[in-house]
């Protein structure tokens, strides 16, 4: 099974809705505080490992959710989809 890693940098306070969306769908989410951009704004970065076949449905749900989040100066989230060469749980 091919595994993907979705890395989401969520701006503002919308990250709980993003995290809840993923958790409600049974995905494991790791989140941590991050700071970035020109104005050093606080963000939350979310990491989600999932099967490759789940990526497009999850991205569509994220697009819909982020389009409705308040506080968007420019965008609510930046999303990276990466190949996970190996997934090991110990």
pTM of the predicted structure, to 2 decimals:
0.84
Domain ranges of the chain: 3-84
Tens digit of pLDDT for each residue in 4-29?
A: 999 999 887 788 889 999 999 999 99
Tens digit of pLDDT for each residue in 29-85?
A: 999 988 876 667 788 999 999 999 999 999 999 998 888 776 655 678 899 999 987
The pLDDT value given to residue 72: 55
CATH number of the domain at 3-84, out of 3.30.70.120, 3.50.50.60, 3.40.50.300, 3.90.1150.110?
A: 3.30.70.120
Report how far residue 66's alpha carbon sits from residue 84's, in angstroms, rounded to the nearest whole number. Answer: 25
Helix axes 15-24, 55-68, angle to 10 degrees: 150
The pLDDT value given to residue 68: 76
Report how far residue 80's alpha carbon sits from residue 6's, in angstroms, rounded to the nearest whole number. Answer: 6
Report how far residue 47's alpha carbon sits from residue 8's, in angstroms, rounded to the nearest whole number. Answer: 7
> Euclidean distance between the first and final Cα of the chain, in Å?
18
């Amino acid at each position: 099974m091919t595994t993907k890693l979705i890395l989401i940098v969520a701006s503002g306070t919308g990250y709980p809705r993003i995290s809840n969306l993923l958790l409600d769908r049974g995905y494991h989410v790791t989140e941590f505080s991050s700071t970035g951009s020109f104005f050093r704004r606080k963000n939350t970065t979310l990491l989600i490992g999932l099967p490759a076949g789940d990526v497009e449905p999850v991205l569509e749900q994220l697009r819909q959710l982020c389009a409705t989040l308040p506080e968007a100066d420019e965008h609510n989230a930046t999303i990276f989809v990466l190949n996970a060469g190996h997934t090991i749980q110990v």
